[in-house]
Amino acid sequence: MIIHPTILAIGACALLLFLHSDHCHNSQRIKRNLANENSILPQLYLLAKQGEQGALLGLTQAAMAQNSQHWLRLAANLGEPNALFELAQLAPSQDSRQVLLERAARLGHPQSSYQLGVLHSNPQVALRHYENAARGGDPRGIVALYNLLVALNRQEDALLWLQQAASWDESAAINYAQSLWLNNDINASVQVLRAAQSKGFGRAQKLLEQVPAISAEAVSQVLANNKQPSCQIKIQFVASSLLALQNIHQLKSEFSQDTRFQGFPICFNAVIAVTPERLQCSDDLSARLQCNLAPLIEQARAADFTHAIVIGEHGKANVHNGVMYLDRQDSYQVFVHELAHFAGFVDEYSLTESLAKSFCQGEAAPNLVFDDARPLWSATHFAAYKSFQPNMALIETDTCSSTKRRAFKPVSQTTFMEHHDLGNIPSLYLKIWLDVLNSPEKLTPIYVNFAQYYEMMGEQDKADTWWQKYADFQS
């Protein structure tokens, strides 16, 4: 048999047929020959049948170059998985496509395994195919396997593939960075985000822009260059996880664009990261979210802030003496509702008995007055706003329904203090809110929380330091 020179080159070049190689410097010429000389395909087929090294792959690639399904089928019959895969893409029906992909997958073709996983609605069958694709190094198979394991709540198994999936998928990269962050390896987390950024992943870029300084010293340096003396309250966001940074960025962005709060003397410091291990936040959806105050006290010594907002994982949002606790699922409307608590606003829905006893025994809150019977509005602090809202009337709320006292608001409409999701803040409330913010003696900063913390710990000297800071704030 006379062997065509091109075929001899194919035998020598084997898998490098279409690639650059020191031993195959004439590969471009080979490709041209394969595309133009019909006589090559039969000779490649004969060599492939005889077991000539590289001929079977060469036959498949030559058939692809000439778009010849006939020769692809012959290569497929000889067990060439790439030919089977290509024929599957041209199959007229899903059934015939699946048959070809299964043959290729049995021959160890990872791309075929991935496509079989996509075809199967049964998650367990899909999982088996994705595993084969992932073990074969198919990027889409790795990502699909990771996502399916997560969906099946097999978190530990998913973590085994997370690092590899992070190289190909933005969501996986962010989840991997989050996992490292939660395990206190913040530097490694940042490196993962930088690698994702280099691949053009936009969300990773945004997260990198939000990653705060880690140390108190670094935070102090940032704040030293960003003093905000005109602000009545300076809020320190605290992120307990990487994903919490996204929540914080979104909240700050929406607040800055909310025209209702233009001119409000509220400022936000650069975000501080405190690891979950140190914050020790509660994790109960049915209970008020609470965290360890000690890390905040450490940060307060280096950074200047009057209030703090801690983003935890799970729990009911609440405010206590200058600290707001939110979980990552809380919306901007919840944030605004809780922000009003910083100014002393009280909820207008029915409070628990213990909370009602605490609030309703007083005379007033910025948005409410408390009494045994409906008072004259002219005898309340709302009288000062007569010129702002001439037709004022006191409307009873459910705030104190669990006690004998009653609560009254100065507006008739349902407000954001009763249903935060409605987001309705009457103009009178905005006026009252602004006046409270400009009256520091009416505000409760985080210093009260710190002082009470040290009193509970039996360290009165440290408590007195924070009580003095509170007195200075009010003066």
pLDDT at 223: 38
pLDDT tens digits, residue range 322-381? 999 999 889 999 999 999 999 999 999 999 999 999 899 988 999 999 999 999 999 999
pLDDT over 80 at 215, yes or no: no
pLDDT over 90 at 71, yes or no: no
DSSP assignment, residue 363?
S
CB 308 within 8 A of CB 291: no
Provide mean pLDDT across the span 172-194. Answer: 79
Residue 365 to residue 359: CA distance in whole angstroms: 8
The two structure tokens encoding residue 474: 């009010």
Q: What is the DSSP string of 138-193?
A: -HHHHHHHHHHHHHTT-HHHHHHHHHHHHTT-HHHHHHHHHHHHHTT-HHHHHHHH
Provide mean pLDDT across the span 235-249. Answer: 86
Least confident piece of the model among 36-40, 76-80, 149-153, 270-274? 36-40
pLDDT tens digits, residue range 422-463? 889 999 999 999 999 999 999 999 999 999 999 999 999 999
pLDDT at 337: 96
User: Per DSSP, what are the bridge partners of residue 307?
Assistant: 235
pLDDT at 236: 92
pLDDT at 11: 41
pTM of the model: 0.60
Residue ranges of alpha helices (H) inside 14-109 are: 27-36, 40-49, 55-65, 69-77, 81-89, 94-106
More confident residue, 4 or 122: 122
pLDDT at 73: 82
CB 207 within 8 A of CB 242: yes
pLDDT tens digits, residue range 288-331? 999 988 888 888 877 789 999 999 888 999 999 999 999 988 99
Residue 19 to residue 15: CA distance in whole angstroms: 8
